[in-house]
Amino acid sequence: MKAYYIHSHRSLVKRTWLPLHIGVEGEKWCNPFSQLTTTMELNTVPFWVSPGKVYVDVEFPLYRTEYFIPIVRRYLYRGCTTLIVQVPIITEKNLQQTFYSHLEQLDGIALDYMAVPRVSLTKLSTSMVLFFGRHKIPFIIVEVTDKKQLLEKEWQWIAQAQHPSFIPIVPVFSFNDSSSFSYKEWLTLMEEHQVRTLPSPITEEPLSLENLKATGIFPTKGEFIYQGDADYNIYPAYEQQEQIEGNEQMFYHKAIPYVTVIRGQVIRAHLELDDYNGYGKYQTISIPNHFTQ
């Protein structure tokens, strides 16, 4: 893979539109001043550039279909470069086999991908937390359907099992009755029991930088940072300027990029997709919450 560097007047760096000068070498971002003087420049001055987006497959769950390609393409068209795929866990029996058999089905998709277990609150156990923490999974999704069960859960044991991996627990609320429980209340409950969770809820939008840091997905994904994966999107400025200047975060979530690059490789250019070669790789995390301070 050829080395090159990017010079951009408008790039989304830590949620702010700033000039950017950064190199790409060996699938990673690097210091451009460490590259050879003959290194090719990718001229992105007329364009807007943002980091690759990291989505959880909340809106279009892959586990609900046997044919992944159309759904993966939906995320790819939105500028997704890493997809976090939910894996339903019904029982602890054959846990490792169940989880990794789902991963095998994803082999060959165009996007880099991670996997997270989705388990009911009543089935969440300390052994599950220990298992997924050891395997460097970004977080555990817990389905909460009963407020009483939520409040009576022995969270102190879950908190102990989170060490030393620090794997966060994040809820999906779907109560069977008229009960409600806000994410703010969830954060208060988790703080009371010293359970690690995410700063904001999982939604259909790309993960926030705060959530990326809390999960350990950052610094490998989601930002322009040396030694991180060279994932990014390029947008024609004339099409996006009104959206960007009006609401930069809405732009980031809604705009459709012209070019999508994963680990330095162009995967999509306008309407042309290179998604048949299975460029995507399975990814694990580094250290959750290591960069939150």
Considering the domain boundaries, does residue 170 fall inside one? Answer: yes
Distance, in Å, from the CA atom of 212 to the CA atom of 198, rounded to the nearest integer, reads 9
Considering the domain boundaries, does residue 46 fall inside one? Answer: yes
Number of domains in the chain: 2
Domain that holds residue 97: 54-215
pLDDT of residue 160: 97
Whether the CB-CB separation of 34 and 203 falls below 8 Å is answered with no
Pair 46, 191 in one domain: no
Is residue 272 packed enough to be buried (19+ CB in 10 Å), middle (13-18) or exposed (0-12)?
exposed
Distance, in Å, from the CA atom of 174 to the CA atom of 183, rounded to the nearest integer, reads 13
Whole-model pTM: value is 0.92
Pair 44, 100 in one domain: no
pLDDT of residue 289: 61
pLDDT of residue 290: 58
pLDDT of residue 143: 97
Whether the CB-CB separation of 156 and 186 falls below 8 Å is answered with no
pLDDT of residue 292: 55
pLDDT of residue 200: 97
pLDDT of residue 246: 42
Pair 187, 248 in one domain: no
Non-local CB neighbours of 247 within 8 Å, separated by 6+ positions? none
Pair 21, 75 in one domain: no
Considering the domain boundaries, does residue 201 fall inside one? Answer: yes
Q: Where are the alpha helices (DSSP H) in 108-259?
A: 126-134, 147-152, 155-161, 183-193, 209-215, 237-246, 248-254
List the helix and strand counts (H, then E) for the chain.
9, 14
- CATH assignment of the domain containing 234: 2.30.40.10
pLDDT of residue 270: 77
Q: Name the 3-class secondary structure at 30.
A: strand
- Residue finishing a domain among 215, 231, 249: 215
Pair 67, 128 in one domain: yes
Mean pLDDT, 10 residues at a time, the chain of 293 residues: 87 89 95 89 89 96 91 93 97 92 91 97 97 96 96 97 94 89 97 97 94 95 96 80 48 79 90 74 80 54
